[in-house]
Amino acid sequence: MGAHSTQLDRPADLVIPIAVLVRQRVALRQFLVRAISRRYRMSSLGFLWTMVIPLATLAIYAFVFGVVMPSSNGDGDTTAFTLRLFAGLIVFWLMAEVITQSPASVVEQTNLVKKSVFPLEVIPAVVVGTALFHSLISTLVLIAALLVLGAGIHPTILLFPIVILPLALLLTGLAWLLAGIGVYFRDLMHIVGLLMTGALFLSPVFYPIERLTPGLQTALMFNPISFIVGEARGVLLEGRAPDWAGLAIYFAIAWIIAAVGLAFFRRARKNFADVL
């Protein structure tokens, strides 16, 4: 326990929470590559699953909401609806993977917890990194679809990483928070699964937020992905520049959550070895 609290616990990290990951970037990179490789190593299709799963899921949603229930599709353009749906799902899948995987991330690495010199903050960050990798693959699939369907690619697509950055920072903070709680409260991994189902439908993934009343629009903005979904569609599909002021505010909030998450994780990890 004492070794965990030596040079890793720098007060400056709570002001710049990502500093700990920059400092431990070698370990982060190694474990990220290992985590991605291990997930697909024993499967027949290997990395192809990173494309097969989102495409299959998209096909099901597009059929249900674009064909079976066309009333959910505002202008009746199934192609446009499918592309908008995919862009929204890329953001949702990023959040869902982090939120559902984080509670068990430390519990599944008991051997690392026993190593007094290992930077445990890296473990939840690997979950975020893996989710970002899958988001990259899904984004490339979307770009390919735009080319195949002749929908056109806007230069603003290059701004997509900037749009995702604040969400990634916020999710890193939540990953630290959930990983710390998950060690002591194992039921958390089941609870967050239910929450993600609600988060999907309480966000503008399937429907334009403009179709809701002003009150509901405000309520939906408390969903972490609602704002990012709109901005992602803007840069990916509409050629619209991001709402820079909105992103700045989101980034500031994400920074605070990341700092709080890191502080909580460091406090909670002191007894990880005893619990595990």
Q: Where are the domains of the chain?
A: 3-275
Helices (H), the chain: 19-23, 25-41, 49-63, 78-101, 110-113, 122-148, 160-184, 188-201, 214-220, 226-233, 244-268, 272-275
Considering the entire predicted model, what is its pTM?
Answer: 0.88
HSE-CB for 219 with a 13 A CA cutoff: 8
pLDDT, one tens digit per residue, over 21-44 is: 999 999 999 999 988 888 777 666
8 Å CB contact between 46 and 40: yes
Q: Is the pLDDT of residue 76 over 70?
A: no
Q: Is the pLDDT of residue 153 over 80?
A: yes
Distance CA 122, CA 191 (A): 24
pLDDT, one tens digit per residue, over 118-148 is: 889 999 999 999 999 999 999 998 998 898 8
pLDDT-derived band at 101 (thresholds 50, 70, 90) equals very high
Q: Is the pLDDT of residue 5 over 80?
A: no
- Phi first, then psi, for residue 120 (nearest 5°) are -65, -20
pLDDT at 66: 67
C-alpha distance from residue 36 to each of 114, 124, 125 (Å) = 23, 14, 13
